[in-house]
């Protein structure tokens, strides 16, 4: 029986210290139901939220079409001096009848200025769409790594539960045979209860993060699909210059397009100071006499020269320029913080984590040998076993945080994951 228990322990040790490569290794060639991070992001790019962003761009393009249209001509028909109650009344010879066409002319380049505003709005909408897609990709990547870590932790605790169940069963038999004290069995059972609570919490967290992942992807949750990307992939992220970051950041592009739209709006409002002109031309029949006439109507801009709208447009431009300056400061701060966090996590993953895992493995090997020979009691062995599991759980969480730090640095650089 002891050999059986020892074999189970050694099997578990082999699994525990190879857990990360086993759990998070590349499975693309093994299962058609696998989901890589790239595939998850690609699916999210066609989600309803992403399609809505494209619909908004299309709607703004409708504004360009409308801005290019010229004013329609207007038809006026009018008859005066109609007296149907009078004797010998002749509509054709005793009324004044008018038929005229009026056309609004827009001097000052108003139509071209409207087109400028509409096109600027399209460019801003397209930039906002790119920003949204990048934000979606970032949220999907963050959720993806959380699922990989939490599901790895749950699988680790499940394997540990199977080992502890074997230990509990073994020691029950020993207590029944009188070879072990009941209090030691109670201690093992308490350890199992603690582990069961941790496992339930890990499974719940894994389920919730998977639901969050599929929500960000815009898909129905599927618990059967395996996530195939590896947590311990240490891909280097190329350092970006401040100038390239400001060019790559989609939110900075949106802010600059907002400035361009505000500038176009000012040009339009300045053009609105020039009064529109109505030109009339028509036919008049007066008591049987046919004549033609023309007319011109021009508002006189004595009081209203569009001062308020010009003032509003200029204030909006200043606000848009201020937002660009503030955003550039925020971007520089984001990049500095993300670079420092990534460098710190990279050092931990490359140096601290391997040493910690190696020490935990060595400690567990020593305790296992000592327990076999009776050099330590069951309680000390359980403490060592719990430490080994805690180290592997910490390793998974540390690697997940490293991937999250890399993700934050990519987003700070304006690079899509």
Domain of residue 227, CATH code: 1.20.1600.10
Annotate 304-332 with b (16+ C-beta within 10 A) or e (fewer).
eebeebbeebbebbeebbeebeebbeebe
State residue 174's pLDDT score: 77
Measured distance CA(257)–CA(16) in Å, rounded:
53
Q: What is the structure's pLDDT at 178?
A: 77
Computed on alpha carbons and rounded to an integer, the radius of gyration of the chain in Å comes to: 38
Q: Quick check: 40 pLDDT over 80? A: yes
Report residue 15's pLDDT band, with 50, 70 and 90 as the boundaries: very low
As a whole number, mean pLDDT of residues 162-172 equals 85
Question: Per-residue pLDDT for 18 more than 70?
Answer: no
**Residue 32 in this model has a pLDDT that exceeds 70:** no
Pick 182 or 69 by higher pLDDT.
69
Q: In angstroms, rounded to a whole number, what is the distance separating the alpha carbons of residues 374 and 381?
A: 11
Alpha-carbon span 414 to 221, nearest angstrom: 29
pLDDT at 409: 94
pLDDT at residue 198 tops 60? yes
pLDDT confidence of residue 180? 67
- Mean pLDDT, residues 8-12: 45
Tell me if 146 sits within 8 A of 403, measured CB to CB.
Answer: no
Distance CA 319, CA 259 (A): 9
pLDDT confidence tier of residue 183, bands split at 50, 70 and 90: confident
- pLDDT of 258 above 70: yes
**202, 340, 403 from 386: Cα distances, Å:** 16, 33, 26
d(CA 165, CA 180) in angstroms, rounded, equals: 17
What pLDDT, on a 0 to 100 scale, did the predictor assign at position 63?
A: 95
Residue the block writes with tokens 């529109």: 276
Instruction: Give the per-residue pLDDT at 26.
Output: 41
Pairing of strands 34-35, 226-227: parallel
Mean pLDDT of all residues belonging to the chain: 87
Structure tokens at 82: 């109609």
Q: How confident is the model at residue 151 (pLDDT cuts 50, 70, 90)?
A: very high
User: Residue 3 pLDDT more than 50?
Assistant: no
**pLDDT for the residue 20:** 41
What are the residues whose beta carbons fall under 8 Å from the beta carbon of 183, sequence distance 6 or more? Answer: none
The pLDDT tens digits for 297-331 are 999 989 999 999 999 999 999 999 999 999 999 99
340: CB partners within 8 A, 6+ apart: none
- Rounded-to-integer distance, Cα 150 and Cα 263, Å: 50
93 pLDDT band, cuts 50/70/90, is: confident
More confident residue, 77 or 386: 77
pLDDT of residue 111: 94
Q: Is the pLDDT confidence value at 25 over 70?
A: no
Using CB atoms within 10 A of its CB, is residue 185 exposed (0-12), middle (13-18) or buried (19+)?
buried
**Ordered DSSP codes for 253-279:** HHHHHHHHHHHHHHHHHHHTTSPPEEE
Separation CA 26–CA 226 (nearest Å): 11
Six token digits for residue 283: 């036919």
pLDDT digit string, tens, across residues 260-279 = 999 999 999 999 999 999 99
Model confidence at 8, pLDDT cuts 50, 70, 90, reads very low
Task: Assess whether pLDDT exceeds 60 at residue 4.
Answer: no
Give the span between the Cα atoms of 85 and 82, in whole angstroms. Answer: 9
Range of the domain at 272: 2-413
Q: Between 382 and 130, whose confidence is greater?
A: 130
**Does 370 have pLDDT greater than 50?**
yes
Average pLDDT for 88-116 = 91
Percent of the chain with pLDDT over 90: 64
- Sign of the alpha-carbon torsion through 194, 199, 202, 207: negative
Q: What is the pLDDT of residue 132?
A: 95
* CA distance linking residue 215 with residue 407, whole number of Å: 19
Angstrom distance (rounded) from CA 116 to CA 330: 30
Task: Write down the pLDDT at residue 170.
Answer: 80
396 to 18, 33, 222, 327: CA distances (angstroms): 12, 23, 23, 35
pLDDT at 5 over 60: no
Q: Which of 268, 279, 277 is nearest to 301 (CA)?
A: 277
**E strand or H helix that includes residue 304:** none
Question: How far is residue 413's CA from residue 417's CA, in Å, rounded to a whole number?
Answer: 11
Q: Which helix (H) or strand (E) holds 25?
A: none
For the chain, give the number of residues. 417
Number of separate domains in the chain: 1
**Cβ atoms of residues 231 and 148 within 8 Å:** yes
Q: For residue 16, what pLDDT band results from cuts at 50, 70 and 90?
A: very low
Q: How far is CA 246 from CA 177, 184, 219, 327, 401, in A?
A: 74, 64, 33, 10, 26
Does the pLDDT of residue 352 top 80, yes or no? yes
């Amino acid at each position: 029986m002891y050999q059986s228990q020892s074999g189970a322990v050694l099997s578990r040790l082999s699994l525990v210290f190879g857990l990360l490569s086993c759990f998070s290794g590349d499975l693309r060639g093994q299962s058609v139901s696998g989901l890589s991070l790239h595939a998850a992001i690609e699916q999210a790019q066609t989600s309803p939220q992403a399609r809505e962003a494209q619909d908004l761009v299309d709607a703004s393009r409708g504004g360009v079409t409308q801005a290019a249209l010229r004013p329609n001509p207007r038809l006026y028909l009018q008859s005066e001096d109609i007296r149907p109650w009078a004797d010998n009344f002749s509509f054709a010879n005793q009324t004044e009848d008018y038929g005229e066409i009026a056309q609004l002319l827009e001097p000052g380049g108003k139509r071209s200025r409207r087109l400028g505003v509409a096109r600027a709005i399209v460019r801003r909408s397209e930039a906002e769409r790119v920003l949204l897609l990048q934000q979606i990709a970032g949220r999907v990547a963050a959720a993806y790594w959380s699922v990989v870590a939490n599901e790895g932790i749950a699988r680790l605790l499940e394997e540990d539960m199977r080992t502890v169940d074997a230990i509990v069963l073994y020691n029950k038999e020993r207590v029944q045979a009188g070879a072990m004290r009941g209090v030691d069995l109670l201690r093992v059972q308490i350890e199992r209860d603690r582990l069961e609570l941790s496992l339930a919490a890990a499974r719940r967290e894994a389920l919730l993060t998977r639901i969050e992942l599929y929500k960000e992807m815009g898909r129905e949750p599927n618990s059967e699909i395996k996530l195939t990307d590896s947590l311990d992939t240490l891909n280097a992220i190329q350092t970006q210059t401040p100038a390239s970051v400001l060019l790559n950041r989609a939110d900075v592009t949106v802010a600059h397009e907002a400035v361009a739209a505000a500038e176009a709006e000012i040009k339009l409002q300045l053009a609105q100071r020039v009064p529109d002109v109505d030109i009339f031309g028509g036919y008049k029949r007066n008591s049987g006499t046919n004549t033609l006439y023309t007319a011109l109507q021009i508002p006189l801009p004595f009081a209203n020269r569009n001062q308020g709208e010009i003032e509003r447009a200029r204030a909006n431009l200043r606000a848009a320029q201020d937002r660009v300056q503030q955003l550039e400061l925020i971007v520089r701060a984001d990049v500095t913080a993300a670079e420092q966090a990534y460098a710190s996590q990279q050092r931990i993953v490359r140096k601290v984590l391997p040493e910690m895992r190696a020490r935990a493995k060595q400690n567990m090997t020593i305790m296992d040998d000592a327990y076999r020979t009776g050099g330590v009691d069951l309680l000390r062995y359980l403490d060592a076993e719990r430490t080994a599991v805690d180290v592997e759980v910490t390793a998974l969480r540390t690697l997940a945080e490293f991937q999250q730090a890399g993700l934050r640095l990519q987003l700070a650089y304006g690079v899509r994951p």
